[in-house]
Amino acid sequence: MKDRSIEFVPATDKTRAFYRSEITLNYRRIRKFLGWTKTEAREKLATWRIAAKRGDLEKILNPRKKTDEDSERFGVYARSVLDSAEWKAKRSADRNEVSLLHLNQEFKDYRLSDIKSAPVRQYVTYRIEKESAAPATTNRELSLLKSILNVAEADEIIPSNPIRGRRVKKQPEEIYQRENIILKLNLSDDDLRRLIDLAPDYMKPILKLALTTGMRLNEMLKTKWRDVDFEKRMIRIPAENAKSKKERVVPINRILCEELKDLDSFKKKNEYVFVNPETGGRRKYVQDAFFASCKAAKIPTGRKEGLVFHDLRHIAAFNLVKVTDIVTASKILGHSDVKMTMRYCHSTEKDKIEAVEKVAEKLFGDANFPVNHLEGVTKDKEALTPFVNLDMQYSSREGMASGGASGLQIQYGF
C-alpha cells in the first residue's frame, strides 16, 4: 500500500466535512473514507499500514470487484433510484441522500445479489459501536437499503430481496432518549448564555435563533433575507426548507432583529442570511464551531452523553411549553401533531413547587384580591369565570413572558 496522504473533504449540502485517503491496492488506486476528524483519520491510516505489512489489507478493506453490468452494482443502481422523480418527491429525499452516503462506504461496489443478511448486520454493528451512530439513524439507513432492494426485485434485477422482513432486525430505539440526555445534563440559563458568549460572532445569532424559536439548523442556514420581515418580526420558512414540507412562520424578538441587521450579509445585500465569507455562498456546516463553543463553555458534547446541535431545538421546546400553551408551542416548532410537542412537557419538583407558590401568591398574596372576595357570591358557572381567565404571569431566568387573550410576548435576556 502506498500512502497518498490524508485528504480533507469540505462539507456539502448533504454531509459534514470528513477525511479520506487515496491508496494503491493491487496496482489499483482507490479512495477510502478515514473519519470525521483528523485524529480518527490518522488512527485508521496507521491501522491500514500495519495490515499492509502483514498482507491483510485487502481483507480489511474488502474491495468488491466491479461487475460488467454497472446497473447491478448497488452504488450505481441506488443512485438511479434516488434520482427518479418519484423518489425526489419524497419527504425523506434529503435524509435518503445522507443515508446513501453511509451505505455506499460499505456496499457501493457490491453486486445487488451479493448483499446478504450477514454483511448488513456487520454494517449496523459497526455504525453503532465504532461510529457511535444513533439506533434511529441506522434504522433509517437499513430501511433505505431494504427499499432499494425491493425496487431492484420489482425491476427483476434480483430474484428476491435477501434482507426482507426481519432477517435483519431494526435496533431498539428509546422514544425519549435525547430528551432524557438533555435533562440529565441539567443545563442552566447561565450555561446557555455562556455558550453564546464564547461562540464565534457568526454563531451567536444562529444559537439564539435555535434556542428561542426551535428552528432546525437546515432551516436557519437556508434562510434568505426575503424571508425575514423586520417590521412584523417574523421569519418565513418555505415548504422546501421545512422537514414537514409545509410552510410556517416563526416570530423573533426585537433584540435578535437588530442583531440580524448588523450582519455583513444584510449590509452587503447577500441572498442568504448566514454567509460563508470565504466562498461568498451560504454557510453549510457549523457543527465544528458548535462543538468548540461547547468545549469552551465546559458543556459535554456527543450523542451518547452530551449535547449535539439539534438538542438546542429540544431546549427551545422545553422552554416554550413552560411559557405558553401547547398549541402555540406546537405551531412555532412546526410539529405536525401536538402529541409530538407533548414530549417536552417535563415537570420537575422545582416546577411543581413554583406552580403552587404562584397560585397561592395570586389567591392570597395580592392586596387587590382579598381572601374573602367570594363571600355572598352564588356558585354558578359565571362566578367561577375569574378563575378560568387568570392572567398567569410566568417568570424565567432569561426574562419575563406573559400569555393572555392578546397573544404571547417573550423577552429574552441574552
- Does one domain contain both 196 and 272? yes
In a domain, 258, yes or no: yes
In a domain, 76, yes or no: yes
pLDDT of residue 410: 40
- Does one domain contain both 320 and 373? no
Residue ending a domain, choose from 137, 157, 173: 173
- Does one domain contain both 234 and 206? yes
In a domain, 186, yes or no: yes
pLDDT of residue 227: 95
pLDDT of residue 175: 54
pLDDT of residue 214: 92
In a domain, 263, yes or no: yes
pLDDT of residue 347: 63
In a domain, 287, yes or no: yes
pTM to 2 decimal places: 0.57
In a domain, 72, yes or no: yes
Q: pLDDT of 53-109, one tens digit each?
A: 777 776 666 544 444 455 688 999 999 999 999 998 887 888 899 999 999 999 998
In a domain, 164, yes or no: yes
* Distance of alpha carbon 368 from alpha carbon 363, whole angstroms: 10
- Does one domain contain both 167 and 191? no
In a domain, 278, yes or no: yes
How many separate domains does the chain show?
3
Q: Distance of CA 155 to CAs 17, 87, 110, 148, Å?
A: 35, 15, 18, 11
- Does one domain contain both 230 and 335? yes
- Does one domain contain both 210 and 335? yes
* Distance of alpha carbon 334 from alpha carbon 8, whole angstroms: 36
Domain hosting residue 365, numbered range:
361-410
- Does one domain contain both 403 and 256? no
Q: What CATH number does residue 140 fall under?
A: 1.10.150
Residue ending a domain, choose from 105, 138, 173: 173
- Does one domain contain both 306 and 202? yes
Q: What CATH number does residue 238 fall under?
A: 1.10.443.10
Profile the chain (414 residues) by mean pLDDT over runs of 10 residues.
Answer: 67 78 69 81 81 72 51 88 91 88 92 89 88 86 93 88 80 71 89 95 94 93 94 93 88 92 88 91 91 94 87 90 85 84 71 82 65 45 38 38 38 45
- Does one domain contain both 252 and 141? no
pLDDT of residue 142: 93
- Does one domain contain both 96 and 238? no
- Does one domain contain both 383 and 320? no
Q: pLDDT of 168-211, one tens digit each?
A: 888 776 655 777 888 888 899 999 999 999 999 999 999 999 99
- Does one domain contain both 165 and 200? no
